[in-house]
Amino acid sequence: MKDFGVKPYLFPMPTYMIATYNENDTVDVMMMAWGGICAENMVALNLESNHKTVANIRKKGAFTLAIPGTDTLKESDFFGIATSNKMADKFERTGLHAVKSSRVDAPIIEEYPVTLECTVEKIEDEPYGLRILGRIVNVLASEEVLDEKGEIDAGKLNAFIFDQMSNGYYAVGDKIGQAWQSGAELMKK
């Protein structure tokens, strides 16, 4: 085996879009890969404190967290490249559309198929980094990603993941098994 030293090399890493309002109520969106679900109704965002999004979250106490689809790869990647600290029209440049959440003081980006509406539960400023814990107050999903039972069908999300090792994006593919059933036969040995 080759030794790589200390690197953040887990795969896959999620691609999530954090949306907030700036102080003038314009929309700010950033891509995040370091974070995810940390409890049944909680998300954890691991961010650098200098992001405009962090300042917005501190001020508003709310954010939305969305799953981007491959159809928005260009815009989503741009949200990870550009900073609202230096580019006031960052969101407008993409041509995406936002509506105000009725539950939290944050925008919902209409082109993203699944959005979690969140309030800030806790902000942990630690020597190893900044973590924002958000409470999920609601989940919204576009009709086109629902199955015949009205549930979210992950296969219809056309989601993509991040590769920290070579800075690539990969489309999420086909369902290959069923959780808590694919390995159940090994319980009988």
User: What is the average pLDDT value for the chain, to the nearest integer?
Assistant: 96
Question: Which fold, 16-188?
Answer: Pnp Oxidase; Chain A (2.30.110)
Q: Sorting pLDDT into bands at 50, 70 and 90, what band is 21?
A: very high
Q: Which two tokens stand for residue 93?
A: 């440049």
Q: How confident is the model at residue 180 (pLDDT cuts 50, 70, 90)?
A: very high
Calculate ∠ Cα 97-161-64, nearest 5°: 40
Q: Which amino acid belongs to residue 127?
A: P
DSSP assignment of the chain equals -----S----SSB--EEEEEE-TTS-EEEEEE-SEEEEETTEEEEEE-TT-HHHHHHHHHSEEEEEEPBGGGHHHHHHHHH--TTT-TTHHHHHT--EEE-SSSSSEEETTSSEEEEEEEEEEEEETTEEEEEEEEEEEEE-GGGB-TTSSB-GGGS-BEEEETTTTEEEE-------TTTTTGGGGG-
Rg over alpha carbons for the chain, rounded to the nearest Å, is 18
Under the banding of pLDDT at 50, 70 and 90, the label for residue 135 is: very high
Domain ranges in the chain are 16-188
Residue 1 has pLDDT above 80, yes or no: yes
pLDDT of residue 189: 75
Q: pTM (2 decimals)?
A: 0.95
Does the pLDDT value for residue 188 go beyond 90? no
Residues 112, 113, 114, 115: what is their CA dihedral angle, to the nearest 10 degrees?
30
Residues 6+ apart with CB under 8 A from 183: none
Question: Quick check: 128 pLDDT over 90?
Answer: no
Overall average pLDDT of the 63-74 stretch: 98
Q: Which of 45, 46, 86 is nearest to 62 (CA)?
A: 45
**Interval 41-59 mean pLDDT:** 97
High-pLDDT (> 70) share of the chain, %: 100
Separation CA 103–CA 61 (nearest Å): 12
